[in-house]
A = this chain, B = another copy of it.
Amino acid sequence: MNEDPDTLVQSLGAAARAAARAVSLASGSVKANAVRAVAAALRDDLDSIFEANKADVDAAKGLSDAMVDRLRLDPERVMAMADAAEAIAGLHDPVGQIISSWDRPSGLRFERVRVPLGVIGVIYESRPNVTADAGLLCLMAGNAAILRGGSEAVRSNRAIHKSIVQGLETAGLPGTAIQLVPTQDRAAVGAMLGATEFIDVIIPRGGKALVARVQEEARVPVLAHLDGNCHVYVDRAADLEMAKAIVLNSKMRRTGVCGAMETLLIDRAAVDKAPALIRLLLDEGCEVRGDVAIKGMEMRVEPARPEDWDTEYLEPILAAKLVDGVDDAIAHIERHGSHHTDAIVTDDAKTAARFMAGVDSAIVIHNASTQFADGGEFGFGAEIGIATGRLHARGPVGLEGLTTYKTIVRGSGQTRP
């Protein structure tokens, strides 16, 4: 295929636009049946998907072990992909839901009704399961999807996509409702990012370099987060045992997730609790980079440099400092945070309320771990990502975040004076 990327994206986009209309009008049960048919096709095609993936892995010599691990599918992972599809099929269909309704003195009745977004572009890296997960979530919310995966996973993605198309068509939906960009030409990504006529929103799934490129270049609206520089603030009125549990879990449960704590702020009025918290983290193998006060508490603490306050480590490394109460904590978070997820530990309801109002992040948490920043934990069933932009959807984006609304007005012949 030697098309230029703009022409290619236009033709994918036009097909997606047409498919999106069909999917937008499909009932919840038709969509669920299609997603289940895809799950069945993935199971049937397990061998060919596994073979395709082996070829990708064989060709991937030179990639890091972490990348190869993200790329690799084994039969369990393929079955897990099918199970994830079944779970998506079981989600409540948001389309057609009446968000609000009201009457006016004119006698008109207004209904705000949820409708699909339209065509969603997903740009992702080496994990081939995203092909099924993201495509099917978009579909279940009534959208068409255009998927652009990483070049190292091209054989796996094509095999998975074949199962998807088969499942869609079995259920009577257009196979073009979930399309895979057929070229690995990087210019195709640029063409997607500019295709405002054909793509309604772009969702990047991958590392920071990918998200940064997409946010920098896209003319199509983007739902994403670049950084998860998350904070836990331990207030003077915190229960020490609760603080220890939340701090440890927020940092160490998984250090590589976007909801992991990266900076610990401790109220100067709770300075007596600080050494226990810092030692707990050090003992669990976490490097701590502290300000002068924290450093003075423990020999093992490294000195924090100014850039530490702005760093998302995604590793067992933590920045830590004392602050002068909740207002200073809020000021630090607003200055250095990424508006993703920030938590306070306190037994003082007034202080908590001040923090929840003052911290302008997608997710603010009182007395629980930052690692609850997850669509599953929110009860969304599945998420396509977490957004830290201010428009449309903030926080975990599930089916509902993949919809918009229209207003239906019902009259009995009203004209406007």
Contacts and interface: CB of A to CB of B under 8 A. Distances in A.
A416 B364 CA distance: 16
Contacts of A394: 404-407
A358 B22 CA distance: 10
Nearest to A356: B408
Given A221-B391, A391-B201, A413-B246, A407 B368 contact: no
A113 to B, nearest CB: 8
Contacts of A377: 104, 106, 108, 416
Chain B CB within 10 Å, residue with most, of A201, A362, A407? A407
Contacts of A221: 221, 389, 391
Contacts of A392: 391-392, 404
A115 to B, nearest CB: 7
Contacts of A115: 360
A165 B171 CA distance: 61
Interface in A352-376: 356-358, 360-369, 371-372
B368 A415 contact: yes
Nearest to A254: B416
Nearest to A20: B360
Contacts of A363: 406-407, 409
B201 A410 contact: no
Contacts of A117: 390-391
A245 B415 contact: yes
Sorting the interface of chain A by its residue count into under 10, 10 to 19, 20 to 34 or 35 or more gives 35 or more
A371 B391 CA distance: 28
Contacts of A409: 363-366, 368, 372
A362 B411 contact: no
B391 A360 contact: no
A2 interface: no
A208 interface: no
A372 B410 CA distance: 11
How many copies are assembled?
Answer: 2
Contact of A410 (B249, B367, B371, B389): B367
A242 B408 CA distance: 19
Contact of A366 (B25, B102, B411): B411
Nearest to A359: B406
Nearest to A370: B416
A407 B395 contact: yes
Contact of A413 (B357, B362, B367, B410): B367
A414 interface: yes
A276 to B, nearest CB: 16
A412 interface: yes
Contact of A415 (B219, B253, B362, B379): B253
By Cβ-Cβ distance, the 9 closest A-B pairs, closest first, are: A368-B411, A249-B415, A368-B414, A242-B413, A392-B392, A391-B392, A371-B416, A365-B409, A367-B411
Interface of A: 21, 24-25, 102, 104, 106, 108, 110, 115, 117-118, 200-201, 219, 221, 239, 242, 245-246, 248-249, 253, 334, 356-358, 360-369, 371-372, 377-379, 389-392, 394-395, 404-416
Given A364-B409, A369-B414, A390-B404, 15 more contacts: A24-B360, A106-B372, A108-B372, A242-B413, A356-B408, A361-B406, A362-B406, A364-B406, A366-B410, A366-B411, A368-B410, A372-B416, A392-B404, A394-B405, A395-B407
7 contacts: A108-B377, A219-B219, A248-B415, A249-B416, A361-B406, A363-B407, A367-B414
